[in-house]
Amino acid sequence: MSINLFDLSGKVALITGGTHGLGMAMAMGLGNAGVTLVINGASSKDKLDKAVAEYKSMGLNAYGYLFDVTKEDQVIQNIKQIEDEVGVIDILVNNAGIIKRTPLEDMEVDDFEQVLKVDLVSPFIMSKHVIKGMIKRREGKIINICSMMSELGRNTVAAYAAAKGGLKMLTKNMATEWSKHNIQVNGIGPGYFATSQTAPIRVDGHPFNEFIISRTPAGRWGNPEDLQGAAIFLASKASDFVSGQIVYVDGGILATIGKPSNED
């Protein structure tokens, strides 16, 4: 009997921060592979409702839950509600995140701590309370959305890099503790992607646009859909013996120190 290793029919996936951008792109990929989507948002019920409506307009089975992933009491309450109303959570994608671009010497401690709380502490909180059901069933997938800043530093993003570097190591430690329960924990590290947030700097002639295109061996920005394959792989049976890994979807940036400006 043949098995489709990438078929996710009947699975329930909870995606934090799945109302827009790369989170939405990954959720759409999972939905097209058969997943029932549970989308978390924190800032606006209207934004969450619009996102769920967009998923449904594509024929995907989607539900929306508004709660703050940094508040443990809200996480506990909503996970129980999701499991009662939709079903047990088979796949958790810890995607919610923020960034504050401030030189370290000018950054307020409260701002530094807020980035750490959203980008690093919330994946711990979410995973801590989803994992209990996964351990009981002896199966599950957790995908932490890391970053190239899990490996490299860059001016003005120290808090974000510290959080994403910590998330890389948290991923490895989750895998260390939970793989024995037949639960796989991995990360995805996106490179530079064409989103609404990067639109102003992706115009021809903009120095950063030229830098990214010349720095990326693939010679282009990533399209949000480029993340879907990695998400489906790490959520599926195809990755049942893969755990503690970070898959960098970056067009090859981390593979090279770059090329001289006069090189073709």
The model's pLDDT over 196-234, given as tens digits with 9 standing for 90+, comes to 888 888 999 999 999 999 999 999 999 999 999 999 999
Is the residue at 146 inside a domain?
A: yes
Share the mean pLDDT of the chain: 95
d(CA 120, CA 123): 6
Contact 247, 186 (CB under 8 A): yes
Query: By percentage, how much of the chain surpasses pLDDT 90?
Result: 92
- Which pair of structure tokens corresponds to residue 154? 């860059």
Asked if the structure places residue 56 within a domain, the reply is: yes
Distance CA 59, CA 222 (A): 25
The residue annotated as part of the active site, out of 65, 160, 192, 248, is: 160
Please, how many CA atoms are within 13 Å of residue 149, restricted to the half-sphere of its CB?
Answer: 21
Amino acid letter, 99: I
Residue 1 has pLDDT above 60, yes or no: no
* Count of positions (residues) in the chain: 264
Which two tokens mark 171? Answer: 């991923």
Whether the model clears a pTM of 0.85, i.e. scores above it, the answer is: yes
Mean pLDDT across the stretch 177-200?
95
CATH number at residue 50: 3.40.50.720
Contact (CB, 8 A) for 241 and 191: no
Supply the pLDDT for residue 263.
Answer: 62
pLDDT tens digits for range 113-135: 999 999 999 999 999 999 999 99
What is the pLDDT at residue 198? 87
- The pLDDT, as a whole number, for residue 6 is 97
Q: What is the mean pLDDT of residues 138-146?
A: 98
Range of the domain at 98: 12-193+222-255
Residue 263 lies in a domain: no
Please give the pLDDT value at position 157.
95
Is residue 203 in a domain? no
Could you give the number of structural domains in the chain?
Answer: 1
Strand 246-249's sheet: what is its strand order?
62-66, 36-41, 12-16, 91-94, 140-145, 183-190, 246-249
Residue 208 within a domain:
no
pLDDT level of residue 260 (50, 70, 90 thresholds): low
Tell whether 240 is covered by a domain. yes
- Work out the number of other CB atoms within 10 angstroms of the CB of residue 33: 19
In a domain, 215, yes or no: no
Is residue 160 among the annotated active site residues? yes
> DSSP for 5-18?
TT--TT-EEEEETT
Is position 69 within any domain?
A: yes
Q: What is the mean pLDDT of residues 147-151?
A: 96
